[in-house]
Each structure stands twice: as C-alpha cells, then as structure tokens.
Amino acid sequence: MKTAVFKNNFYSFLFEDGLLIDFEEIHPKALYKYNLKEDDSFIDKSFKLTFSEVLDSKENDVFIYRIDSLKLI
C-alpha cells in the first residue's frame, strides 16, 4: 500500500514522492465505501491505496491505472 492525497473528483492522487496519478478506474468496493466522485470532503485527505496497471483492451500499447483498494488514514 502506498500513501497518497486525493486531489480532485477525477481520481487524482498525489503520492509522497511528488508523483501525481490520474486513475481511470476504481474497484466498486472502494468506490462504495468512499464516494470520491460526489463527496468533496475527501479532497486533500490522505489515503492508503493499492493499484494496478492494466493493459487497455482497446489499445494494446496503452496502460490504465486502477485503484484496487482504498483506506482513509
């Protein structure tokens, strides 16, 4: 798990090393627990998260980032 700060309603997270990642997908369980798209109170909050790089099925040379688990800290 990595620690990151939620930055906006587009699933953007800023990691401790300064890397900003915009996640294209989020696991439904994580989204159910933390409705990041609708609830602005999570902006600038820190989370522990795990994520994966997934090969886009439509474009073979493009990877997308998916949040697999999310925990508010």
**Would you state the structure tokens that stand for residue 1, as one six-digit string?**
């798990």
Mean pLDDT, residues 53-70 = 83
Instruction: Please tell me whether residue 19 adopts helix, strand or coil conformation.
Output: coil
CATH of the domain at 29: 2.40.50
Query: Measuring CA to CA, which residue among 69, 57, 49 is closest to residue 1?
Result: 49
Model-wide pTM > 0.85: no
b/e burial code for range 15-46 (CB count within 10 A of at least 16 → b): eeeeeebebeebbeebbeebebeeeeebeeee
Domain count, the chain: 1
Phi, psi of 9, rounded to the nearest 5 degrees: -80, 15
Q: Express each pLDDT in 13-38 by its tens digit.
A: 999 999 999 998 888 888 888 888 88
